[in-house]
Structure 1
Amino acid sequence: MNWGKSLSEFREFNKTFQIIHQTKTTSDTSRLFILDSSFNPPHLAHYSLVKTSIDYEAYKNDRNCSTVLLLLSISNADKADGEPASLEQRIDMIILLAEHITKSLGLPAAVALTSCPKFADKCKAIQNHSRELALPKSRLTFLVGFDTIIRILDQKYYTSPMSVALRDLFQDSDFLVLTREDKKYSIQYQLSYVKQLHAGSLKAIPNDWASRIYMVVNDNLLEADISSSAVRSDIKNGKLHWQEKTIPEIATYIKEKSPYIKL
């Protein structure tokens, strides 16, 4: 499908949020699992994060009334990062991931665009959309990595105190944070972060927010190392094992459409 018209209208009318695809419609969603990414391309670590989240103990009772939302932030995707996959091609691939999620996990999945760069604004835009459609208010669960939650809770991104700037976000949302070994933050530090929040050690952050942040250890070390940039690098260098790092439908799309041929 040609998504050029949808993207043009999204920008022309200054929309902040728009659903462009649903695997199946539902009106009784009480929890929305939101994966916000550039999806360039979508890969198994994206899928694994969704699966880990819906299987997580704190959310098991909500499974039958949950929906997965794959969110593409236009403000981030438009940055000139030298990557050739167009927004239209990325949307095609995200939809393939959404259909795979519904087929394999049994949950409704949707694909949406947003122009909001900050999570607080994304939360507000999603809740406003539900209100406009007279849908029941859902609890939002953002699926993120540790590097992302650190950025969200960094005062330098806000002109007002975080307790004010992020109040509505933490009132309406929670975060499932998947640990990932990296050079800057050890797994031990990542797991201790929420404990520091609980203890009130991070003064700028209300300690009750800790109850809305769930840290989950990533036990799948192979998928933990998968990233969009790694997949693109493998394609560029002619390493065929990149196909094992994404779902079969997306691997087929990449082979047929060659969105990364200019790398």
Structure 2
Amino acid sequence: MCRSDVRQAVLAKNDDLAASLRGDLARQGVTLVNLLSSPGSGKTELLGRVLARAVERGVPVAALTADLATENDAVRLARSGAPVQQLLTDGLCHLEARQVRARLAGWLPGDTSVLFVENVGNLVCPAAYDLGETLRVVLMAVTEGEDKPLKYPTAFGSAHLVVITKTDLAGPAGFDESLFHENVHQVNPGVEIVRSCARTGSGVGTLLDRALAARDGVPPHRPPLAPHPHVHHPDSAPVA
């Protein structure tokens, strides 16, 4: 079997596991929100604000945060008061449905209605892996450049929601928001784009509201998943 066939088989196996996990979570009344971004986008800080807002509103949420090493992000997110668990990938550049299912076993609080999964900081490999999410959110800081959606069309093209972070730095960064919108809609026509700033709290309520809408059955905009153009060999899950 050639490498391309192996890769497609691994992705197909992951898709089956993700569909099963999505069904199991739905029966438990849990909606999974998958957060993707590059490292340094401000994803953890924004998620911490969202979790804190949910706790204030009495919304039963939880978070699973993934990283190659350290539990720093879990410690930061736990300050929100929400249940949080760390998932260490031991060098793997993305999460897979099998890892999420295994980490949730015996841990996820029974009253959870929204589970936020903070994926590994990477816009390539994570975009190809369905985690059983109902809502996929792709975040990008204003410092990353307006052409990022064109460079990473799989990630942006598969998003239900795109979030611009660190908008307080838009001026100093010379960020052209209109051009960014054009580029996003070139790869994902009609997708909603939300502005946010963890420092001021802007966009926090909107992100939580979109997660709750997904929980309550409001269908998000969802194009078919774009092709998987990356060539990373997923040797973590060998095919039987």
| TM-score by shorter chain over 0.5 | no
* Greater helix fraction, Structure 1 or Structure 2: 1
**What is the TM-score normalised by the length of structure 2?**
0.42
* TM-score (norm. length: structure 1): 0.39
